[in-house]
Every structure is written in structure tokens, then in C-alpha cells.
Amino acid sequence: MNTKKLFDLSGRVAIITGGSIGLGRQMAEGLAEMGANLVLCARKKERCEQAAEELKQLGVKTLALACDVKDLDQIRDVVQQAASEFGRIDVLINNAGTAWGAPVEEMRLEHWNKVIETNLTGTFLFSQAVGRFMVRQRRGKIINMASVAGMRGAPAEFQAIGYHASKGGVIAFTKDLACKWGIHNIQVNAIAPGWFPTRMSEVMIERNRDAFLKKIPLGRFGSDHDLKGAAVFLASDASNFVTGHVLVVDGGQTA
């Protein structure tokens, strides 16, 4: 197959959780630029509507929906509306996430639970709901947002053990689901970003800018287009023989 065709997403349908801002928005734009129709969902529907309106300018169809990934009924509703609107679901990007900073000995259970339920349980619930549809289709791409923080422990200044644990769980979940659903022609992979300036990371980056940059061989933080290629690759036919993989996009930080 022609290489351009391998990366072409024309007519494909992608659901992106947390797709209205930050890394989710960047990946949504990348997929739309390659022709994919988008279903953007997040807790704040108005943000999704604004992003959907802007991304329509790329010539694709968009659907903006409200969804809290901790709520199974809302997840099922998004999947049902996406299937009803487009008749197919080709790609799921489990991007919605949260973090909570506190020393381990002071971390409150409700804060730990919120992070785990959003980042890990939400990834499971959305994958399960979309997966049922993809199993019937006999094809699909699931992309989970991990993090380099989930690949190893972090220094004492990073007091966010729930976030690190949840992202480590996402990596294990990705590998295991890839083994389970390969028989259905569903590829399940993860992206592990390093430091990208976003609403969630901006305070940490500002406090530690020089120290972080010293540990990144490329000498810079991720840009507003550095995740696009990774997302398009894992969403397209170019990655049909890639599953259970964690694609690290960190400027060499973990090297």
C-alpha cells in the first residue's frame, strides 16, 4: 500500500476524551488534518463545542459531547451517540486525565481515588464500551495516554504518587488489552509524553524549568505539534502490526 494511504484517516471516526484543550486538542487537530471526523468529549461541554467548531474548518465533521469518564452512563451515551451519528468508531484516544499533588503520608483517600478513577478506571470503562463496538466491526485502534511518569519512580520533589501509579497502571492495562483483543484485529497502544506545557503541568514546569531542561537531551519542552505524528501513526493503518507498544515522546528524557 502507498505510504500516504497508510497514514490517511479520511472518513475514519475518532473519539477523543479530554479532547478540547491541551494534548487532547493537539492530537484531535492532528487526526483531523489527516481527514478523521472527531467526537470530542469532556466534562465541560462548552469547551468541546468551541474546539469542535474550530476543527470543522479543517473540512471534517465534529461532534461535541459532555462526559465525565468516571460515569459509566455518560460513557455509554457518548459511544451510542458517536455510533448513531457516524455509523462507525475507528479510533479511541483515552486522553482525559487529572493529577493531585501531596506527600504520600498526607495524601487523602478521596484525592487518590479521584486520580485513579479518572486516569485508570476511566481508560478501562471507555475502552470496554468502545471495544464492544470495535469487536463487532472486527477492527479498531485504541490509544491510551500514559506518561514517562508511569515508567519509573520520581524524585521526592514530584509528590503525585496517585498520578504516577495511575499511569503505570495504564501501561500495564495497554499491554494486557493488546493481548486480549488482538484476535479481534484491535490494536491497543499507548503514548508516554514527557514534559509538555499544559494547564496541568504549567506550574510544575515554571518552578523547575532549568532543572527539567537539563535532563532533556533535545533541550526543550514538547511543542503544540510534537504529539500529532505519534497519534496519527497509532490511529492509522501505518501501525496495523503494532500493538501493546508504549511510544515515548519525551525529547530523550528517559534515554
What is the secondary structure of 175-241 as a DSSP string? HHHHHHHGGGTEEEEEEEE-----TTTHHHHHHHHHHHHHT-TT-S---SSTTHHHHHHHHSGGGTT
255 in a structural domain: no
163 labelled catalytic: yes
Q: Is residue 175 in a domain?
A: yes
pLDDT in tens, the chain (255 residues): 899 999 999 999 999 999 999 999 999 999 999 999 999 999 999 999 999 999 999 999 999 999 999 999 999 999 999 999 999 999 999 999 999 989 999 999 999 999 999 999 999 999 999 999 999 999 999 999 999 999 988 777 788 999 999 999 999 999 999 999 999 999 999 999 999 988 777 777 887 788 889 999 999 999 999 999 999 999 999 999 999 999 999 999 999
Specify the DSSP class assigned to residue 57.
G
CATH assignment at residue 169 = 3.40.50.720
Written as one string, the DSSP assignment of 73-114 is: HHHHHHHHHHHHHHS---EEEE---------GGG--HHHHHH
Closest C-alpha among 72, 23, 74 to residue 51? 23
Residue-number span of the structural domain to which 243 is assigned: 3-249
Which residue of the set 112, 124, 126, 163 is catalytic? 163
- For residues 71 and 136, give the distance between their C-alpha atoms in angstroms, rounded to a whole number: 24
Query: Is residue 214 one of the residues assigned to a domain?
Result: yes
pLDDT at 64: 97
